[in-house]
Amino acid sequence: MTDPGVEAAQTPAGPAPRGLELDRLAAYLATHRPELAAGPLSARLIAGGKSNLTYLLRCGGREVVLRRPPLGHVLATAHDMAREHRVISALAPTEVPVPRALLLCPDDDVIGAPFYLMEKVDGVVYRSRSQTDPLTDGQRRDLAMAMMDTLAALHTVDPATVGLADFGRPEGYLARQVRRWAGQLDRSRSRPLPGIDELRDALAGSVPEGADAGRIVHGDYRLDNLLAAVDPVAVRAVLDWEMATLGDPLADLGLLLTYWDVLGDSDAADGNPVADGLGPRAGFPTGAELLDRYAGRSDVDVGPLHWHVALGCFKLAVICEGIHYRHTLGQTLGGGFERIGELVALLVEHGLHAARGT
């Protein structure tokens, strides 16, 4: 840890939000990025994150973004700051828009957890009907298509050419996904969850081959993990790379359809911080139209996606249950988390239907 007596470190301007130690952070920056420690340091939590925490820092006369794992009960492999930092650094020269990485700190002693800094990108995170309802039909359509074009661009990147050839183990990726989320479910259980074990077993017993495994996958690709603009419509940056790896791109598509067609067509998602009903019901194109756009810009064979949607439902159910558990322990920051547990039963029900192909 950096010596807190470093002369260039500045006294924080205002109280630190929960999850940050501003005095120690200022001292660390004084040594590792002194241009960011030239003035008072202040921070605020950026609302909307459901897992890793995101803060806007004012330091050195500019604004930058800090990412750190969530508080308390965490599933470590899903909150690896070094992986996030590595992937956005690797993708910087590609057509995939990402924020510029500025600094990685693997030391828990500075703010209580590893973290990294990245540039602040101007744009809007569209996560609620209150934001998208004022858009025109054309803007909503163009925004959805830009989302798919960006996903196709990601899946087209050759991992080896950007230094990510060893970023994951493509062989057996889908089977490992089932085992991983089953294990995380066991570590997050705090109440009865009817049907979720049946869904896990159905997935484990019918894992597809994964012919296109070996692509860079985001792991949680959706509209509200993008910074976008609508005049003109563009994706400015893809955010939240905590689950990125090398694997099957159909897993990204299956999860996106889970958000879009499952939660996007449910009253339970209205006003919910995980997905506020964004999808066809909110005036966006259908999931089928999204897949057509993607298929026209990618060499990935989309094929049947029932299994991958079922995996998306299972994965998101486990994530929601983990957030629900942290909320019951008082370890979530921000509002709306009391409703996330409501989504688990809905996701399990749809996942079982998808696993059966019905």
pLDDT mean for each 10 residues of the chain (358 residues): 32 71 94 92 79 89 92 56 95 98 94 94 92 96 98 98 95 95 91 96 93 91 96 96 94 96 78 73 95 97 94 94 82 69 92 92
- What is this structure's pTM? 0.89
Residue 153 makes CB contacts below 8 A (sequence gap 6+) with 94, 95, 96, 297
DSSP E strand stretches across the chain: 42-45, 53-59, 62-68, 101-105, 115-119, 215-217, 226-230, 233-238, 245-247
Q: How many Å apart are CA 153 and CA 272, to the nearest integer?
A: 30
Structure tokens at 248: 């099957």
**Partner residues linked to 43 by β-bridges:** 57
Q: What are the helix and strand counts (H, E) for the chain?
A: 11, 9
pLDDT value for 274: 63
pLDDT value for 94: 98
pLDDT value for 50: 53
pLDDT value for 44: 93
Q: How many CA atoms lie within 13 A of 249 on its CB side?
A: 25
Is 345:274 a contact under the CB 8 Å cutoff? no
